[in-house]
Structure 1
Amino acid sequence: MSHDPNCIFCKIVAGEIPSRKVYEDEELYAFHDIRPQAPVHFMIIPKQHVASLDEATAEHAPLLGRILTLAPQLAREQGATNGFRTVINTGPDGGQEVYHLHVHVMGGPRPWKVG
């Protein structure tokens, strides 16, 4: 499994940086965002280092499918029972700040910042 020793999300997966874990299995890790923009705001990341969605290939399709099918289950478990939003920031113009593929899942009672 690919790991970037300089990547903050790889360090979170390795337990080198603390996080508020939501979920973990052999391929995926989910944790609360440190700057939440909604009452429910967590991220799902692959444990394998993939820098961005732009670098995903056909071999990543099953992993991406798992992320997107896990999102609703975790959103409900975290309290987003009336819908949620998923966001994948990709590249500098897409607002990506951490170059490790991650899916934001946001929900909960509105109003909350959309942006």
Structure 2
Amino acid sequence: MSSTDCLFCRFVSGEIEPQVAGETTHSLAFRDIDPQAPTHVLVVPRRHVADAAELAAASPEELADVVLLARTVAEREELGGDYRLVFNTGAGAGQSVFHAHLHMLGGRPMKWPPG
């Protein structure tokens, strides 16, 4: 998939406007359209990479930025430090958009193990 065909790249470029929850120079956070918790935000790198491992290989600093933006959004949402961060890698793990993205979920008790 080229970045021009990527939904999240279209969010990053502003072609489609998501409900933004936060942003940095390297990352964009927006609300999930099918939330699985009261707070469900996706944090994506502005760079198009397929998954978290590819992002880590390309730029550990940008991977760290994604995680730090998730923390900032969780603080703004007043989750009290109780939230879950999830990267799905590959279709078999539930990844449906092949642009690296971190799910930040909170606002309810999280059970273990998930799914």
TM-score (norm 2): 0.86
CA contact (8 A) 1:22 1:31 kept: yes
Q: CA deviation at 1:74?
A: 1.1
CA offsets, 1:69-113, max 9 Å, x none? 22222112123225000000001111100000000000013378x
Instruction: Report the structure, 1 or 2, having the larger helix content.
Output: 2
Structure-2 residue corresponding to 1:27? 26
CA contact (8 A) 1:9 1:100 kept: yes
- Work out the number of aligned pairs and report it: 112
What is the RMSD of the two structures over their aligned residues, measured on CA atoms? 1.9
**Matched residue SS, 2:43:** strand
Query: Residues 92 and 11 of structure 1: is their aligned pair in 2 closer, same or farther, counting only changes over 3 Å?
Result: same
TM-score (norm 1): 0.86
- Runs of 5+ in structure 2 lacking a partner? none
User: Identity percentage over the alignment?
Assistant: 37
Structure 1 segment 1-115 matched on structure 2, within 5 A: 4-110=3-109, 115=115
CA offsets, 1:13-69, max 9 Å, x none? 111112100112221100000000101110110011011124234341111112222
- Runs of 5+ in structure 1 lacking a partner? none
CA contact (8 A) 1:82 1:108 kept: no
Which consecutive segments of 4 or more residues in structure 1 shift more than 4 A? none
**Matched residue SS, 1:105:** strand
